[in-house]
Structure 1
């Protein structure tokens, strides 16, 4: 069982299960009309569908604006080979104008005050500005990254910017590897120590066909008051199986399906 709500980060209140709209929500019909993931329209659609959480990614433009964008370059989304970091905000807005509209992190936090954001810091240059921007919203933001260095830099930037408390956080690859190794070696004190600095474990169910999310991992996380969120889960049968196993959150492209499923859970 997870820790009581009073002992947990406000980001994780009330109790789940949680649906985290992966890069917002783009329905099949919206996709057919050219709406892109991580766009203003995708975030708005997640909100309209009833999602309380939006999972997104942060890059920085050439003129220093933090934007919600997954890829390092524009090739897949806008058929442009340039890196996000090499394009100024105005031009990026133009490129995204017929793809659902660009959304900056500042705009997302301001335009959707009821949403909670799960932010993956994708670039080293994004860590500092992400931390500054989320400082005033720390109760509704979770900061993560595959890089623990970027994750911790963003958390430190939020602290320096005057955050009343640190944003919620989930581990990068190095911390997650240390945790899994400590569990395999039955180093219980080490496991507790690593979990003590976290609010959620966000990870795939399997890595190279090896199970990562196990009932033992879920049990250890819950004993420390840490939630387990699995990505990216789109099939209803997989959603049900993971929730039955005790998973607390589903990161999904089909927020509509997941929200309907968890309604009576």
Structure 2
């Protein structure tokens, strides 16, 4: 089946769809958001990598999902309250250190990064890093906070790619049902200017988010639709049949196998 996809709105999306995202580098083996996990994903052919960022108390930008170290490392404490010299001692699964996001940008120069800004304190250090490295075309910023995504767009001056936040997704869902409210009211004016994609779960709170109506509404506005976090091969195939533009997964070998079988692994 031929899928008519929107023209990419930003160089970040300059790659044949469907896009394959290694979620936290491929979190299935328990080494999420480590340089080793991202290295394995890149070795398997992944070009798009998903991560999260927090800022330490001294402003260093760490690639890590949780606000605290407790769940996946042998250390404890809130990252935002600790200096980098303390955070760098932590080991994921007792083995792997936490990387700075700047180190990841440098080690994987061909990779594109989907970055969830988990805390307000991480926003300005991230934008400063993108300015210093000129990595605007390699990063798409997401956040559940519509206000934070809007501030990111305003501070970046239009160079930054973002995904819609919670308000924008809800507005797009309403639009898909035929609601004719003004776009800036539905999606948020600042976010709509910089948004290039919609990144959503297949279902939320028992309700289906991604269906043909939602995809059509997104495409009418030029947004790609990326679905997270899909780990089952059958669900991956169903979503690809539906026409989604990208899938994020913890099980990177499974997604690669599904796309290879369909002649869509690039």
Which whole-Å CA distance do the structure 1 matches of 2:208 and 2:184 have between them? Answer: 18
| Structure 1, gaps ≥5 residues long | 160-164
SS at match of 2:89: helix
Which whole-Å CA distance do the structure 1 matches of 2:219 and 2:185 have between them? Answer: 11
Which whole-Å CA distance do the structure 2 matches of 1:52 and 1:192 have between them? Answer: 35
- 8 A contact 1:228–1:247 mirrored in 2: yes
Deviation (angstroms), 1:191: 8.4
Alignment of 1:1-265 (within 5 A): 1-5=4-8, 8-26=9-27, 28=29, 31=30, 36-96=31-91, 98-135=94-131, 136-159=134-157, 166-187=159-180, 190=183, 194=187, 197-263=194-260, 264-265=263-264
Which whole-Å CA distance do the structure 2 matches of 1:196 and 1:245 have between them? Answer: 27
Change in CA separation of 1:189 and 1:246 when aligned onto 2, cut-off 3 Å = farther
SS at match of 1:94: coil
Deviation (angstroms), 1:196: 5.9
Deviation (angstroms), 1:79: 4.4
| Structure 2, gaps ≥5 residues long | none
**Could you list the per-position Cα deviations for residues 178-229 of structure 1 after superposition, in whole angstroms to 9, with x for gaps in the alignment?**
2223333521763898466421100001111101111111112123221100
Which whole-Å CA distance do the structure 2 matches of 1:204 and 1:132 have between them? Answer: 30
Change in CA separation of 1:27 and 1:180 when aligned onto 2, cut-off 3 Å = closer
Which whole-Å CA distance do the structure 2 matches of 1:177 and 1:54 have between them? Answer: 25
Question: What is the count of residue pairs matched by the alignment?
Answer: 252
**Could you list the per-position Cα deviations for residues 129-174 of structure 1 after superposition, in whole angstroms to 9, with x for gaps in the alignment?**
1112123111111001000122222233333xxxxx5222111112
Higher-helix-fraction structure: 1
Change in CA separation of 1:249 and 1:173 when aligned onto 2, cut-off 3 Å = same
Change in CA separation of 1:107 and 1:187 when aligned onto 2, cut-off 3 Å = same
- 8 A contact 1:39–1:99 mirrored in 2: no
SS at match of 1:76: coil
Change in CA separation of 1:192 and 1:113 when aligned onto 2, cut-off 3 Å = farther
